[in-house]
Structure 1
Amino acid sequence: MSSTCLITGASSGIGAATAKYFASQGWTVYAVARSVEKLQQLAITPGIIALPLDLTDTHAIITTAKELANKNIALDLVLLNAGSCEYVTAKNLDLSAFERTFAINFHANVAAIKYLLPLLSLSKKPQLAVVSSMAHFFPFTRSEAYGASKAALSYFVDSLRVDLAKTEIQICLIEPGFVDTPLTQKNDFKMPFLLSVDTAAKRIYHGLDNNKLRIRFPIRLSVMLKLMACLPYGLRCRLAAKMADK
């Protein structure tokens, strides 16, 4: 019996590459994204089924979950990857940017978990994986909205794991560094240890296959940021400010 997964944010970047990689390993993949056209192109790949859905629309999530349940579709993995990034200016904070960023990076993921979690109940090895980011490890310039949303998401997943510890569901928190996607291609700064989406997809797949509770890549960036976070607070703040001036 083949395994079945649902991957959000599948129209491009990490989501699209991961959907293709899972399909290449024999999985049936329900690829979720807002773009119908991009999903149709992705669904040309054998094993991938397009599932257009706007994750910021809670009613649409409820409807989709009911449709999958009515078709007796049991998911072995729900991989929540959809996300966005908007940079802000501290002297004139754009509140709408915060609303949009939290809507997709945090609230949409919480809603998706609430309504998709029951679809994992029939699996013998259910897994829930959520893609956050290393961005919240260190205070980067103009990242008040993005970093805060990812910090909230990572904390939520860790707390959720505590409360679901007595269930069969394996929960994995994925915190990547810089990956070459349409989102990061908009950045106008140097991105150390930049990885391709294909490399990211393989690391996610094999990390989940090995039942890891947390997947971070690249390791070099993770170690560097964690060491920087261990600096005395004042020095850490001065370093962050100096980096922002470059």
Structure 2
Amino acid sequence: MSSTILITGASSGIGRDTALYYAKQGWQVYALARSADKLAQLQALFPEQIVPVVVDLTDSAALQHWQQQLDSVIKFDQVLLNAGNCEYVEASALDLAAFERTFELNVLAVVSCTKLLLPRLTAGGTLAIVSSMAHFFPFTRAEAYGASKAAISYFADSLRLDLADSGIRVCLIEPGFIDTPLTQKNDFSMPFLMPAEQAAARIFNGLHAGKLRLRFPRRLAYLLKTLNLLPYNLRCKLAAKMKQT
């Protein structure tokens, strides 16, 4: 019997490339996203391996309905909660709606998926949650996005602690800049930009190795960790200077 993974946000970016990577390895992939057309295109590449699931993750009732309709014998060896979005805001006129949309998908939808899918994980299965390195260092206009990723990273680490005796492994994935439709909207330099296909391979290999945390590209992780070692006042001054460049 082949192994089975569920991936959210599978219609584009990291989710899509990871779904393809797993399918190439012979896994059964449940690909969740809102776009029926994009999921159909994805399934056409591996019709035997990929099962498309059209659902809005921010609609907890719809997600619960799908989960309840799913055959009770279906279990997942891995669940990858990858779906997320980024909206930049202006400090002079903070857009509360942007914060609400960002936290709804990046945080609340992850918690909702976790609640519904934990019982579907096999014994010894892995729950992987995608956050971001964005919360390592203050970046301009990233108040909503960075705060949401800080929240979900803490959620994953705390959840791991409380599931320690359950046999479920929780892996926190904190990527840097990955070349996806989301980052292609950015109008600033993105150091160490990594192709999504490479990110997918890092995720597959890391989860297979039983890692509890994945950070890539490593060079960016080392750089941001080094910046965090600076005295707080100096760190703030450096962040302000970076904003001006």
Q: CA–CA distance in 2 between the matches of 1:48 and 1:202? A: 18
**How far 1:67 sits from its partner (Å)?**
1.7
Structure in which a larger fraction of residues adopt strand: 2
The Cα shift of 1:60 comes to 1.0
Match of 1:58 in 2: 60
Q: Which residue of 1 aligns with 2:109?
A: 108
Question: 1:213 and 1:117 mapped to 2: Cα distance?
Answer: 17
In the other structure, the counterpart of 1:8 is 8
Show the counterpart of 2:144: 145
Tell me how far 1:71 sits from its aligned partner. 4.4
Q: 2:177·2:192 contact (CA, 8 Å) conserved in 1?
A: yes
| Counterpart position of 2:25 | 25
Q: Look up the SS of the partner of 2:140 in the other structure.
A: coil
**C-alpha deviation, 1:45, in angstroms:** 2.3
Structure 2 CA distance, aligned partners of 1:64 and 1:116? 11
Q: What CA deviation, in whole Å up to 9, does each residue of 1:75-113 have, x standing for no partner? A: 111100000000000011000000000000000000000
Residue 44 (structure 1) aligns with: 44
TM-score (norm. length: structure 1): 0.97
Q: CA deviation at 1:124?
A: 3.9
Counterpart position of 1:159: 158
Residues in 2 aligned to 1:64 and 1:208: alpha-carbon distance in whole angstroms: 26
Identity %: 62
**Post-superposition, which runs of at least 4 consecutive aligned residues in structure 1 deviate over 3 A?**
none
Give the residue type in structure 1 aligned to 2:65.
Answer: T
Instruction: Please give the root-mean-square deviation of Cα atoms over the aligned residues, in Å.
Output: 0.7
1:136-188 per-position Cα deviation (integer Å, ceiling 9, x unaligned)? 00000000000000000000000000000001101100000000000000000
In 1, Cα distance between equivalents of 2:59 and 2:147: 22
Instruction: For 1:198, give the aligned amino acid.
Output: E
CA distance in 1, matches of 2:159, 2:69: 25
Structure 1, gaps ≥5 residues long? none
Where does residue 179 of structure 1 map in the other structure?
A: 178
CA distance in 2, matches of 1:27, 1:215: 21
Write the distance in 2 (CA, Å) between the matches of 1:89 and 1:139. Answer: 14
Letter in 2 for 1:55: L
User: Which runs of 5 or more residues in structure 2 are unaligned?
Assistant: none
State the Cα deviation string for residues 34-92 of structure 1 (Å, max 9, x = none).
00110010011221110011000000111111122x34211111100000000000011
Matched position secondary structure for 1:153: helix
The one-letter amino acid of 1:102's match is F
Q: Secondary structure at the match of 2:124?
A: coil
